[in-house]
Structures are given as structure tokens and as C-alpha cells.
Amino acid sequence: MLVTIDNLLDAPRLNTVREMLKNAEFTDGKLSAGKEAKMVKNNEELSLQSPLHQQLNQIVMGALVQHPIYQNAALPLKLATAFYARYTAGMSYGFHVDDPVMGPMSGRYRSDISTTVFLSDKEDYEGGELIIKTDFGEQSIKLGAGAAVIYPSKSLHKVAEVTSGERIVAVTWAQSLVKSAEKRELLYDLSQVRDTLIAKDPQADETGRVSRSYANLLRMWSEV
């Protein structure tokens, strides 16, 4: 399931993030890549030593975690701090799957959900589509600045070569309360129906039954 969030970051937040990244120190993205990813990864990332990470994460991760679509689609249990990646002309990231287990030994987590937050305007670069292999073929995703896409970390994906301009994104991962992507999709559909019913008639019998089914399925399937 691919889910997009339009306007995850509003204009003031987006501008703050862009300003902070404008003169920041970026380093070779291969430094943070696993063995296989190293071969196909050709981008730059905000230096891990950068003092900007804390403030950036407050803005970007804060908006993500508070967003109802993210909450319902990802059902996050543990969140990684975001990476900020930059692609200039000639850069790309070939097909790969994200590392299955991330974090230091003291705080490891499984990556179930990957998220890309687009920080550059679509018009500011050519190429640079996020291409995800799905059961229904390859999906090509290029969203406007401030929008985000959520996709299963198990899916093969790549970033097409940027042929001109500059593509800056934030990427992050989460361990979900619900490991199975299929179950998460069912829960997400059900959460949409529940919300519609609640808006129409919160006291109706069918609202209560759908709401209870959602809550109890989540209880049955969540692992903490």
C-alpha cells in the first residue's frame, strides 16, 4: 500500500527546513549505506555531525507523527530519526530494499514503513522520481514540496537519476505496531470507513460495530 500525504509541511515549516538545509554540510551518502546499497547509492546526506538534525527532526518528524493519515497508515511503534538526502545532476539511487533492522545495539528496531518527504519543488529538478515496484507494476512518484509518501520497507525501490536541478528529501523509517503490510492495509481501509461513519452518525449501531471491529483487530494484531 502506498499512501501519500499532501501538505505534510505547511509553507512556514517548509521554508524553515529549506533555509536550514541551504548552507548545511552534506557528505557522501555511501557512508550510511549497507553493503549492497553502497553499490547503487549515489547521493549526499546531511552530515550526521550536523547540529541541525535536532531542530529539523522536531519540525519534520513532529509533523509526521501528528498527522492522522500517518498514524492510521503506519501505526508507528518506533521511529527512526530522519536522514536528509540531496541529489544533484547525475545522482541516483538504484534499486534496493531498505535495511531490515536499524538502530544501535541498545535500541534496534525493524523497518516496516519507509517514508519520503519531498522538500524541493517539482519544478526545481528534472528526473528524480521515486520508483517503487509493487504487485501492480512500477509506480513512479514525484510529489510537490511538503508532501510525503509512505510505502512498505520491504518493497524494491529506486530514485531515478536527477538530470538537472536539485532534489532534497527527508527519509525515515518506522517499526509498525502491525508487522504485516496486508493487515495494515485492512486496518487502514477499516479506519477510513470508521471515520466516515463517525462523521455521519457517531451513535449509530453500525458505527459502533465497525469502530469496535477496528479496535479489536488492532488489539489482536498489534505487537508491542
The residues binding Ni ion (CB under 5 A) are 98
Q: Nearest approach, Cβ of 173 to Ni ion (angstroms)?
A: 9
Using DSSP's 3-state secondary structure scheme, residue 88 falls into strand
Quick one: 11 or 39, whose CB is closer to Ni ion? 39
- Measured distance CA(13)–CA(10) in Å, rounded: 6
Residue whose CB is nearest to Ni ion in the complex, by number: 98
Quick one: 169 or 190, whose CB is closer to Ni ion? 169
Containing 50, the helix (H) or strand (E) segment is: none
Quick one: 44 or 98, whose CB is closer to Ni ion? 98
Q: Nearest approach, Cβ of 220 to Ni ion (angstroms)?
A: 30
- Measured distance CA(116)–CA(160) in Å, rounded: 14
Enumerate residues 6+ apart whose C-beta is below 8 A from 197.
204, 206, 207, 210, 211
Q: Nearest approach, Cβ of 110 to Ni ion (angstroms)?
A: 15
- Measured distance CA(9)–CA(99) in Å, rounded: 26
Q: Nearest approach, Cβ of 114 to Ni ion (angstroms)?
A: 6
Helices and strands per DSSP (H, E), number in the chain: 6, 16
Quick one: 9 or 85, whose CB is closer to Ni ion? 85
Q: Nearest approach, Cβ of 33 to Ni ion (angstroms)?
A: 9
Distances (CA, A) of 221 to 88, 192, 198: 42, 18, 23
- Measured distance CA(196)–CA(36) in Å, rounded: 44
Distances (CA, A) of 153 to 150, 158, 219: 9, 12, 23
Quick one: 153 or 207, whose CB is closer to Ni ion? 153
C-beta of residue 153 within 8 angstroms of C-beta of residue 100:
yes
Quick one: 115 or 207, whose CB is closer to Ni ion? 115
Of 12, 22, 17, 9, the residue nearest 55 (C-alpha): 17
Q: Nearest approach, Cβ of 205 to Ni ion (angstroms)?
A: 45
